[in-house]
């Protein structure tokens, strides 16, 4: 059996990967003139989410992990903002926007929970060091 990295077991990473596939599927239908504009930016921002979750999971300190999860969340907000513009430009239908928005909301909740968890772990460890 092949080795499985720790991040591959995370539900949040799996959901972020699903988002990437959905974004790429959606942007294939955008106008060709947006290939180096909105399409490129949306694709890169969605990749940033999943990549930062993976990278954060590999960090040793809880504070470092939290930092990468914060970057992932920031990229998620970027994706959401660009999708709004794409909807207003009529590159995506409202129903598709709503589907992606639901996926983004679910993912944002998971990333935020992971981020808070790492910050709490970091705070607890700092408190324990001080109290010893």
Q: What is residue 130's predicted lDDT score, i.e. its pLDDT?
A: 54
pTM: 0.90
Please give the Cα distance from 40 to 99 (Å, whole number). Answer: 21
The CATH number for 8-131, chosen from 3.40.50.12780, 3.40.50.720, 1.20.810.10, 1.20.1440.60, is 1.20.1440.60
Q: What is the pLDDT of residues 65-115, one digit of tens each?
A: 999 999 999 999 999 999 999 999 999 999 999 999 999 999 999 999 999
- Would you say 82 and 38 are in contact if contact means Cβ atoms under 8 Å apart? yes
- Would you say 122 and 66 are in contact if contact means Cβ atoms under 8 Å apart? yes
Please give the Cα distance from 114 to 111 (Å, whole number). Answer: 5
Please give the Cα distance from 102 to 116 (Å, whole number). Answer: 21
**Weakest-pLDDT range from 13-17, 57-61, 72-76:** 57-61
């Amino acid at each position: 059996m092949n080795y499985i990295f720790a991040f591959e077991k995370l539900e949040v990473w799996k959901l972020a990967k699903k988002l990437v596939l959905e974004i790429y599927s959606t942007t294939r239908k955008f106008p060709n003139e947006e290939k180096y504009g909105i399409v490129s930016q949306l694709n890169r921002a969605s990749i940033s989410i999943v990549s930062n979750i993976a990278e954060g999971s590999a960090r040793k300190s809880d504070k470092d992990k939290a930092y990468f999860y914060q970057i992932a969340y920031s990229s998620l907000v970027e994706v959401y903002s660009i999708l709004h513009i794409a909807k207003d430009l009529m590159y995506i239908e409202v129903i598709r926007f709503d589907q992606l928005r639901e996926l983004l909301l679910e993912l944002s909740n998971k990333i935020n929970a992971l981020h808070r968890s790492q910050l709490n772990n970091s705070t607890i460890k700092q408190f324990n060091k001080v109290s010893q």
